[in-house]
Amino acid sequence: MFHLSVPWWEFVARGLVVYALLLLFLRLTGRRQIGQYDPFDLILLMLLSNAVQNSMNAGDNSLVGGLISALTLIGCHTLMAHLMWRHPRLAHWVDGRPETLISDGQLDANVMRDQRLTADDVHAALRAAGCLQTHEVQKATIETNGQITVVLRNRDSLRTADTGV
């Protein structure tokens, strides 16, 4: 239970490598996968955790080994949060930047493609904001957490645009 089959520092080194690689891989998958968990995404996260377990613990199932791995991951996360707070450029690399999805009613297909958003994803965000069509939107932004925020046009300006007055 308390006997380690590998030196303590190997748990730390393995944890650091796994943390860095998962951070990189998840960043490359786009914001939708990070910000909106559906069953498909949850299955991926569960399988990832199981897949990297042995690479982190080197086959050691001791209590101490598990605690060292857990503390390493928590330490990495805390350190990254601190570094991202102090260095905005690092935060932009890790979290990305918000991107404008709809501007003045015009949907940007390139942003949809880059963020792997489907038309259903966009329409769901519009419905959640209380509109049905892109022409009702002043600006829609996909945030760094994957959520889509929508700012609706003034209803009076929509009536004017529709009537041509």
pLDDT, tens only, 31-74: 544 455 566 566 777 777 777 887 787 778 788 888 888 888 88
Measured distance CA(91)–CA(148) in Å, rounded: 19
- What is the CATH classification number for the domain harbouring 123? 3.30.240.20
pLDDT score, position 136: 94
Helix (H) or strand (E) holding 36: none
Does 165 have pLDDT greater than 50?
no
pLDDT score, position 86: 95
Average pLDDT over residues 9-22: 87
Based on the number of CB atoms within 10 Å of its own CB, is 122 exposed (0-12), middle (13-18) or buried (19 or more)? buried
For residues 30 and 57, the model is more confident at 57
CA atoms within 13 A of residue 102's CA, in its CB half-sphere: 24
Sheet with 137-142: list strands edge to edge.
106-107, 99-103, 137-142, 148-152
List phi, psi (to 5°) of 105.
Answer: 80, -5
Provide the domain limits for residue 78.
Answer: 8-95
Place of tokens 């707070």: 85
The answer to whether residue 55 is domain-embedded is yes
pLDDT (tens digit per residue) in 91-131: 888 888 899 999 999 999 999 998 888 899 899 999 999 99
Q: Clarify whether residues 132 and 63 are in a common domain.
A: no
Q: Clarify whether residues 86 and 63 are in a common domain.
A: yes
Based on the number of CB atoms within 10 Å of its own CB, is 113 exposed (0-12), middle (13-18) or buried (19 or more)? exposed
How open is the CA angle 92-94-98, to the nearest 5 degrees? 45
What is the domain count for the chain? 2
